[in-house]
Amino acid sequence: MILVVEDDSFKYDRIKVLLESVGYTDVKWCQSVHSGVQALSTDEFELIILDMALPSHDLAARGGSPTSLPSGGLELIYELSYAQKAVRLLIITQYPEIEIEGSYVKLTDAPKRLQELYRTPVMRVIQFKQNDSTWEQGLADAMKEIP
């Protein structure tokens, strides 16, 4: 099963279509840090596709607004590291850099840095661009690397 932690439904729909086109239909979708952490504690995943900017909690009817966390994806990476779960990770973010431990790291350098700090197997970090399909090709290529 693949876990996609992404708060933007439009972006998630595009990811899901791409996953289905390469044969992955068993996908669980979470929209916040909280629901993503809950999924990690109840299910096993062969891959996690993770956005880095996530809300703290899912938006609830009549509830307050969740806190926006620009590095919310790191919370899930911390959880994986703490639980010593070696699940492959694919990060898709709209930003050209990721803040890790107070420093901004270029996307090309992020997989190595995350592996060093958290022992998390990051396959790659892909920059999402709304009107550019390059990120989709990067995701398709990454999916071919999974045995």
Which range marks the domain in which residue 103 is found?
Answer: 2-144
Nearest to 14 by CA among 135, 143, 142: 135
- Contacts with 82 (C-beta within 8 Å, 6 or more apart), sequence order: none
* Among the ranges given (52-66, 69-83, 95-109), the one the predictor scored with the smallest mean pLDDT: 52-66
Rg (CA), the chain: 14
Q: What domain count does the chain have?
A: 1
**pLDDT-based confidence at residue 137 (cuts at 50, 70, 90):** very high
pTM above 0.85, yes or no: yes
CATH number reported for the structural domain that contains residue 96 in this entry:
3.40.50.2300
What mean pLDDT is predicted for residues 51-64?
Answer: 75
What is the band of 100 on the pLDDT scale with cuts at 50, 70, 90?
very high
The answer to whether 56 and 67 have CB atoms below 8 angstroms apart is yes
pLDDT band at 66 (very low <50, low <70, confident <90, very high): low
Which segments of 45-98 does DSSP mark as H helices, in order?
72-82
pLDDT at 128 over 60: yes
What is the per-residue pLDDT for 60? 64
